[in-house]
Structure 1
Amino acid sequence: MKNKLNRGRENKTYISLLLVAGLAFGVFFTSKTWMYDDSAIAQTSFNESINGLSQTTLTLRDWEYNPKNKLMEVTLERNHTGTDAVEPTFSFYAKEQHATQKYKAELVYQSDNNMVVQIEDVPESFEVIGLFVTEHRDQNILKQEYKKQLENKDGEATVTDQSIQKSDLPEPEQVIILGDYRIIDTTQSLVTKTDKGYKKESIIADMERTKQAITTIVEEDIPFQEELITTLKKEKESLKQDMAFETKEEQADTKREIEQKDKAIEEAKSEIEKLKKNVKELQDKYQNREEELNALTQNKDDKQQNKNEKTNAENVKTGQQDAHQNKQNDNNHAAKKDEK
Structure 2
Amino acid sequence: MKNKLNRGRENKTYISLLLVAGLAFGVFFTSKTWMYDDSAIAQTAFNESIGGLSQTTLTLRDWEYNPKNELMEVTLERNHTGTDAVEPTFSFYAKEQNESQKYNAELVYQSDNNMVVQIEDVPESFQVIGLFVTEHRDKNILKQEYKAQIENKGGEATVTDQNIKESDLPEPEEVIIVGDYRKIDDNQSLVTKTDKGYKKESIMADMKRTKQEITTIIEEDIPFQEDLMTTLKEEKQTLKQDMAFETKEEKTDTKREIEQKDKAIEEAKSEIKKQKKKVKELQDKYQNREEKLNALTQNKDDNHQQKNEKKDAENAKTDQQATHKNKEEKNNEGSKKDKK
Shorter-chain TM range is: over 0.9
1:316 maps to a residue whose letter is A
Name the Cα RMSD after superposition: 1.1
Distance 1:2 1:77 in 2: 74
Cα deviation, residue 150, structure 1: 1.1
The more displaced of 146-155 and 180-189 is 146-155
Identify unmatched segments of 5+ residues in structure 2: none
Distance 2:327 2:7 in 1: 87
The more displaced of 327-336 and 47-56 is 327-336
Aligned residue in 1 for 2:262: 262
Distance 1:2 1:68 in 2: 51
Aligned residue in 2 for 1:124: 124
Aligned residue in 2 for 1:232: 232
Distance 2:274 2:187 in 1: 41
Cα deviation, residue 216, structure 1: 0.3
Aligned residue in 1 for 2:36: 36
Structure 2 residue 287 is the aligned partner of structure 1 residue 291:
no
Distance 2:155 2:2 in 1: 102
After superposition, give the CA deviation of every residue in 1:141-165 in whole Å (9 maximum; x if it has no partner).
1111111111111165241111011
After superposition, give the CA deviation of every residue in 1:222-248 in whole Å (9 maximum; x if it has no partner).
000000000000000000000000000
Cα deviation, residue 3, structure 1: 4.3
Distance 2:11 2:29 in 1: 27
Distance 2:250 2:277 in 1: 41
Give the secondary structure class of the aligned counterpart of 1:58: strand
Cα deviation, residue 18, structure 1: 1.9
Aligned residue in 2 for 1:281: 281
Aligned residue in 2 for 1:69: 69
1:299 maps to a residue whose letter is N
Distance 2:32 2:104 in 1: 24
Aligned residue in 1 for 2:271: 271
After superposition, give the CA deviation of every residue in 1:226-283 in whole Å (9 maximum; x if it has no partner).
0000000000000000000000000000000000000000000000000000000000
% identical aligned pairs: 85
After superposition, give the CA deviation of every residue in 1:294-331 in whole Å (9 maximum; x if it has no partner).
00000000000000000001111111111111122222
1:111 maps to a residue whose letter is S
Structure 2 residue 36 is the aligned partner of structure 1 residue 13:
no
Give the alignment of 1:85-124 within 5 angstroms. Answer: 85-124=85-124
Distance 1:187 1:290 in 2: 26
Distance 1:2 1:171 in 2: 75
Distance 2:152 2:61 in 1: 42
Count residues in correspondence.
340
Aligned residue in 1 for 2:200: 200
2:294 maps to a residue whose letter is N
Give the secondary structure class of the aligned counterpart of 2:109: strand
Distance 1:263 1:288 in 2: 37
Aligned residue in 2 for 1:312: 312
2:56 maps to a residue whose letter is T
1:157 maps to a residue whose letter is A
1:75 maps to a residue whose letter is T
Identify unmatched segments of 5+ residues in structure 1: none
Normalised by the size of structure 1, how large is the TM-score? 0.98
After superposition, give the CA deviation of every residue in 1:143-191 in whole Å (9 maximum; x if it has no partner).
1111111111116524111101111111110000000001000111000
After superposition, give the CA deviation of every residue in 1:110-148 in whole Å (9 maximum; x if it has no partner).
000000000011111111110000001111111111111
Distance 1:213 1:263 in 2: 28
Distance 1:172 1:214 in 2: 38
